Structure 1
């Protein structure tokens, strides 16, 4: 069939719409699974012996001699380039844990990663972190179980009784309030968390409310 000028224009328009639709779907899918381009500057700390051999929040066993890190909101499997801005050294690590739960810190590094940055002695270092990719196994696992969302941590206690007391107090005005148990070699922590939100913005707003109204120190945490 011979196409007239009008038909040619119509066919080209349909082709363009199909192409744009396909491209948008690909970009949207990638943005959900990747933190590529994420950057943050702040203080990093490190952890090691007390957690070695224990399960991390991702389910992986923590190896203090590996090159891994804990971050509160980046997806598990995110690969980070971490640069010590005090001496110029850098290292690549994989996010496989949640933390640090200390005000003013953005990242917790494994012993070996911290050693590579020459920050063992000081305990902390001012760093620049940049997401450079993500391991495919972690992307696939997240797709299989689905994104769980975000929550707000409001306290961590050695005594379970204190955690239960705070939980009961908060349940008068907030739901859900729940306790997550974290263990080291010689200690067990009871972490009190509030809410299960779909977006980080929602979690940030809840954290702000809890800080303002309840006078609590809060940390937004990704659950996946």
Structure 2
């Protein structure tokens, strides 16, 4: 993983006001406009399982998309109203709300956004930005961008802690879901927790918690009981030669590496195996690539998922 030397300059952009996330019209559920705090239970979309969890060390790369006019002023997965002109985003697994920094790896532009929705449900996308976020990162016209997504751990922990203050144990149990059971998946196991055998809605199991004061470390303002990040773009140093791969998984055993390579042999793409450190252990990453475009990566990813390797994802390295 590349090292970041910090922010070299900050720009306030003024006057800058694909693929669908989970926003929908309010249904009279009685949720406050500020929404609820929600992690949610494992769920399945198009044959792929997702496992929401509190991960305050989250730091991944991938391809971002954005969503806008068709979802403006509809309810997000945690009950807030989606505003395409605010700095918000949809993520498949992170708690809602949480704060993440998204950096465009092509131009170094970086913004903080509020995760308040589930999605994107296209297999090859890591995050769905609001239209405003896509504008500030410079990919509204292109539709996609290579990005790094990093959760702001301290600020997101504060949101989670406030949600739990004074919340009865039964509500917390509903929030987090029952102890996970093994979800249907192939013989090849990727490091990580398994989920239940039933499909759960990504738009349930939330609780209203204590008010969360605005974080002192992020520019923004309170709006309807929510903290909304300000349209501040940090310019970060990034490499201009980031390559796109489809990563099948990171495995702790040679047996699983061999199985993955055997399945990949049917798609006729170059396979790379490289070591990485995660959680204090050495894992072997199995990847296809580098690939010369997002479209090509999407096509290869779909081939790999159809071969039964549903944990595969697009990464940028």
TM-score by length of 2: 0.38
Residue of structure 2 equivalent to 1:30: none
Is 1:148 the counterpart of 2:176? The answer is: yes
Q: 1:62 aligns with which of 82, 95, 98?
A: 82
CA distance in 1 between counterparts of 2:139 and 2:62 reads 14
Aligned ranges 1:107-122 → 2 under 5 Å: 107-122=127-142
Following superposition, the deviation at residue 36 of structure 1 comes to 2.9
RMSD: 3.7
Q: Deviations over 1:128-158 (max 9, x none)?
A: 1111131745543356332334899x9xxxx
Following superposition, the deviation at residue 114 of structure 1 comes to 0.8
Is 1:127 the counterpart of 2:147? The answer is: yes
Residue of structure 1 equivalent to 2:235: none
8 Å CA contact retained: 1:77, 1:139 = no
Larger helix fraction of residues: 1
CA distance in 1 between counterparts of 2:202 and 2:148 reads 30
Q: Which has the larger radius of gyration?
A: 1
Alignment partner of 1:127: what SS? strand
Unaligned runs of 5+ in 2: 1-52, 185-195, 204-303, 313-317
8 Å CA contact retained: 2:69, 2:84 = yes
Residue of structure 1 equivalent to 2:198: 176
Describe the shift of the 1:213–1:44 C-alpha distance in structure 2 as closer, same or farther (beyond 3 A).
closer
TM-score by length of 1: 0.52
Following superposition, the deviation at residue 38 of structure 1 comes to 1.4
Aligned ranges 1:31-110 → 2 under 5 Å: 35-110=55-130
8 Å CA contact retained: 2:72, 2:84 = yes
Describe the shift of the 1:119–1:136 C-alpha distance in structure 2 as closer, same or farther (beyond 3 A).
same
Alignment partner of 1:93: what SS? strand
Following superposition, the deviation at residue 176 of structure 1 comes to 3.2
8 Å CA contact retained: 1:34, 1:134 = no
Describe the shift of the 1:121–1:151 C-alpha distance in structure 2 as closer, same or farther (beyond 3 A).
farther
CA distance in 2 between counterparts of 1:142 and 1:34 reads 13
CA distance in 2 between counterparts of 1:218 and 1:76 reads 23
Alignment partner of 1:45: what SS? strand
Alignment partner of 2:134: what SS? helix
Following superposition, the deviation at residue 76 of structure 1 comes to 1.0
